[in-house]
């Protein structure tokens, strides 16, 4: 045992390690709800014991072992159990998994990959796959997931419950797919990692704009997937994450206030991450399959290699958005394309494009459309309209840093 630890130390460990511990508990216990209860029991025990006894030499192994035995006790105490749980208990009583085994990095990584691919099993709907993985692997709340889906919290909660029941009732195995199965399962997994990073890069709610733990987790999973399947879109996704992450120190002030891309101090960007990202972009685009992640990464690389917003190759970015729209004909792509057109050709050219998006209603609850409309009206000298759009954007975001930024814009136009 090491030195005495505080509740704050344990809380930080929970935020950093709980999803890995949960992945291993799900593998060992074979049941989502049992594993989730075991995780909470383990951390409750840690709060009671570690401040007195000190930090274990291997905290993750301690948590897994404690949670596992708590689950065994729970099964023993329950009088009526499903038959597979009784069989599982008989098997578990004859084995004692050594701490040295469950703390190997490769085993932790395999557990996370097993759980991701289980959550993304083709027997589940795509929406359920993504919602369940974001909840169980990434630890996002149902509110955060609902924000990412632009849907209601109740809908997301129902998807997660149905997905867990489906995995249990259909006895879907906790395993990494075979090489033959991998291609059909990979797209959803990549999307989950992408959404995870986005939530960390710009949190949907709360005081802080950034959550470095979520960003780091997404990047780590991206490297694992690249090892598992080194194909163009896996490279493209990881490149995109690294290039976005390279700007993390320049995106907020010391007080946590938002700084938009054109106003960022580019000397604060991480050149090592940019170099890694650009190399992966080049590898991704040289492959036979060019996809949406590779194209987004190429756009991010053009931003990363530009010395200023004015010197950015906006025509090339517009062309990449045109190509991206063929793969993903989404209104968000059109929004970003219109912003690029405003930089290349002026706000008067881009404004009708954003107004058409507004009239379509597809992004009615997306505050960034209102913010973009406000910016263009402001550049055109239409201050009253700009102020109204900033107010609309403010009413649609629950992110406090964004709220403060938008309120400042409104105050300046008052």
64-102 pLDDT per residue, tens: 888 888 888 777 766 444 455 455 445 544 444 434 444
Q: What is the pLDDT of residues 155-180, one digit of tens each?
A: 889 999 998 888 888 888 777 777 77
Residue with tokens 């909840």: 135
Q: What is the pLDDT of residues 305-315, one digit of tens each?
A: 999 999 999 99
Compute the distance between CA of residue 282 and CA of residue 298 in angstroms, rounded to an integer: 8
Query: What would the two tokens of residue 24 be?
Result: 């291993």
Banded pLDDT at 367 (limits 50, 70, 90): very high
Q: Which residue has the higher pLDDT, 95 or 152?
A: 152
- For the chain, helix (H) and strand (E) counts, in that order, are 20, 2
Out of 1-5, 55-59, 324-328, give the one with best mean pLDDT. 324-328
Residue 334 confidence (pLDDT) above 80:
yes
Which residue from 152, 133, 176 is spatially nearest to 32, judged by alpha carbons?
133
Compute the distance between CA of residue 38 and CA of residue 70 in angstroms, rounded to an integer: 6
The vertex-291 CA angle with 285 and 295, nearest 5°, equals 60
- Please write down the long-range contacts of 225-229, taking CB distance under 8 Å and 24 or more positions apart: 225/113, 225/186, 225/189, 225/190, 225/193, 228/113, 228/176, 228/182, 229/182, 229/183, 229/186
Query: What would the two tokens of residue 142 be?
Result: 């149902």
Compute the distance between CA of residue 384 and CA of residue 134 in angstroms, rounded to an integer: 40
- In this prediction, residues 324-339 reach a mean pLDDT of 95
The vertex-195 CA angle with 276 and 358, nearest 5°, equals 110
Query: What is the length of the chain?
Result: 414
Q: What is the largest CA-CA distance in the chain?
A: 76
Residue 199 confidence (pLDDT) above 90:
no
Q: Which residues pair with 258 in a beta bridge?
A: 252
Mean residue pLDDT across the chain: 85
Phi, psi of 252 (to 5 degrees): -140, 160
Cα dihedral across residues 336, 338, 344, 348: positive or negative: negative
Q: Which residues pair with 205 in a beta bridge?
A: 398
| pTM score of the predicted model | 0.75
Q: What domains can you pick out in the chain, each with its CATH number?
A: 7-99 (1.10.1740), 319-414 (1.25.40)
- In this prediction, residues 338-345 reach a mean pLDDT of 97
Q: Which residue has the higher pLDDT, 175 or 325?
A: 325
- In this prediction, residues 7-33 reach a mean pLDDT of 84
Helix 367-379 / helix 331-345 crossing angle, nearest 10 deg: 20
Q: Which residue has the higher pLDDT, 340 or 220?
A: 340
Banded pLDDT at 32 (limits 50, 70, 90): confident
Sort 222 into a burial class: Cβ within 10 Å, 0-12 / 13-18 / 19+. Answer: buried
Which residue from 118, 107, 101, 109 is spatially nearest to 224, judged by alpha carbons?
109
Contact present, 115 and 129 (Cβ < 8 Å): no
Residue 394 confidence (pLDDT) above 90:
yes
Residue 383 vs residues 26, 372, 373, 386: alpha-carbon distances, Å: 55, 14, 11, 5
């Amino acid at each position: 045992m090491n030195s005495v630890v505080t509740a704050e130390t344990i809380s930080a460990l929970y935020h950093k390690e709980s999803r890995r511990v949960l992945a291993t508990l799900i593998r060992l216990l074979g049941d989502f709800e049992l594993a989730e209860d075991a995780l909470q029991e383990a951390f409750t025990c840690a709060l009671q014991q570690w401040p007195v006894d000190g930090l274990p030499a291997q905290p993750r192994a301690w948590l897994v072992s404690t949670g596992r035995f708590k689950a065994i006790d729970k099964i023993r105490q329950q009088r009526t159990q499903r038959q597979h749980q009784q069989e599982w208990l008989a098997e578990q009583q004859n084995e004692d998994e050594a701490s040295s085994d469950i703390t190997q990095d490769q085993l932790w990584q395999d557990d996370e990959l097993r759980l991701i691919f289980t959550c993304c099993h083709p027997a589940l709907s795509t929406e359920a796959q993504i919602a369940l993985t974001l909840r169980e692997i990434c630890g996002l709340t149902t509110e955060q997931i609902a924000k990412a889906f632009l849907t209601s919290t109740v809908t997301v909660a129902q998807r997660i419950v149905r997905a867990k029941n489906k995995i249990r009732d259909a006895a879907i195995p906790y395993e990494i797919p075979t090489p033959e199965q991998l291609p059909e399962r990979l797209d959803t997994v990549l999307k989950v990692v992408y959404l995870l990073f986005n939530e960390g890069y710009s949190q949907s709610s709360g005081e802080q704009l950034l959550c470095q733990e979520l960003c780091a987790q997404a990047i780590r999973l991206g490297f694992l997937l690249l090892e598992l399947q080194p194909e163009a879109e896996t490279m493209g996704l990881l490149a995109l994450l690294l290039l976005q992450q390279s700007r993390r120190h320049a995106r907020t002030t010391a007080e946590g206030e938002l700084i938009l891309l054109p106003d960022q101090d580019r000397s604060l960007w991480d050149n090592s991450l940019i170099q890694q990202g650009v190399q992966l972009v080049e590898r991704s685009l040289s492959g036979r399959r060019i996809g949406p992640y590779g194209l987004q990464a190429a756009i991010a690389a053009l931003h990363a290699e530009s010395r200023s917003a004015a010197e950015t190759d906006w025509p090339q970015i517009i062309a990449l958005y045109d190509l991206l729209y063929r793969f993903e004909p989404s209104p968000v792509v059109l929004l970003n394309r219109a912003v690029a057109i405003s930089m290349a050709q002026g706000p008067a050219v881009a404004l009708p494009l954003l107004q058409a998006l507004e009239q379509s209603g597809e992004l009615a609850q997306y505050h960034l459309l209102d913010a973009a409309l406000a910016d263009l009206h402001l550049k055109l000298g239409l201050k009253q309209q700009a102020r109204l759009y900033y107010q609309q954007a403010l009413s649609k975001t629950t992110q406090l840093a964004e709220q403060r930024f938008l309120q400042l814009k409104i105050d300046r136009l008052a």
